A = this chain, B = another copy of it.
Amino acid sequence: MIYVIGIGPGSKELMTMQCIEAIKDSEVIVGYKTYINLITDLIEDKEVVQNGMRQEIDRCKEAVEIAKTGKKVAVISSGDAGIYGMAGLILELTSKEEENIDVKVIPGVTASIGAAAILGAPIMHDFCHISLSDLLTPWDVIEKRLRLAAEADFVICLYNPRSKGRSEHLAKAFEIMGEFKNGSTPVGIVKDVGREKEEKFVCTFDTMDFDRVDMTTMVVIGNKSTFIHDDLMITPRGYTV
């Protein structure tokens, strides 16, 4: 039995009841060490298999092997396990196994939703998620999605917006979206959602400061109706109030 669990942005308050129950019910906890560190108080006497970044395949293969011994395994993702998390990889692996392995995906609060609650209400209307990481996706596909999403006037949430290895991606993304996004479009930036170091900034498309952004940051670009009030970012649904 494998629980693929999204623990939300990080704090226990944003975990679902089902997430906490599934962790408690598990005998072995498998995950990226940074995420394991967020749930130490829930896993005190459990067996833990943790490793570093970019070792997802090894981790998930190990989880499958452990499940085959009959143990209950929890595979931990931050946010939601089904959004750039481990649910896909686990199901891809178990679908190749001859024996049937039960998999239960436990949904969680993804980073865009956590960030939106801090920014106000930026994703109240149609929106999309685009990951700027080209480790697994060709950059030209990412560029195409950025352009068409901006043309469609979606609110756009950028996952994996920037890392040391590719600091120029975010500026390039803004250049592409700038064909359709007005300079005064509100942009919300939230670092470390729900964690101790949480920080929030609201600016506009033209005054965007790329240096504020790292891999733990969520960037939300508004649509044509989004406005800033005090330090809140609000996208109207369309009610006349």
Contacts and interface: CB of A to CB of B under 8 A. Distances in A.
Interface string A206-241: 000000000000000000000001101011111101
Contacts of A131: 125-126
Contacts of A95: 229-230, 232, 234
Interface stretch (A29-37, A66-74, A140-148, A165-173): A140-148
A106 B13 CA distance: 10
Interface stretch (A44-52, A151-159, A196-204): A151-159
A178 interface: no
B234 A83 contact: no
Given A128-B128, A144-B152, A152-B148, A91 B136 contact: no
A84 B238 contact: no
Contacts of A125: 84, 131, 137
Contacts of A186: none
A114 B121 contact: no
Given A87-B121, A154-B145, A113 B236 contact: no
A16 B109 contact: yes
Copies of this protein in the complex: 2
A14 B107 CA distance: 8
A117 B107 contact: yes
A104 B43 CA distance: 30
Interface in A19-72: 20-21, 56-57
A236 B126 CA distance: 23
Contact of A105 (B21, B121, B136): B121
Nearest to A148: B152
A130 interface: yes
A177 interface: no
Interface of A: 8, 12-18, 20-21, 56-57, 80-85, 87-93, 95-96, 105-110, 113-114, 116-118, 120-131, 136-137, 141, 144-145, 148-149, 151-154, 229-230, 232, 234-239, 241
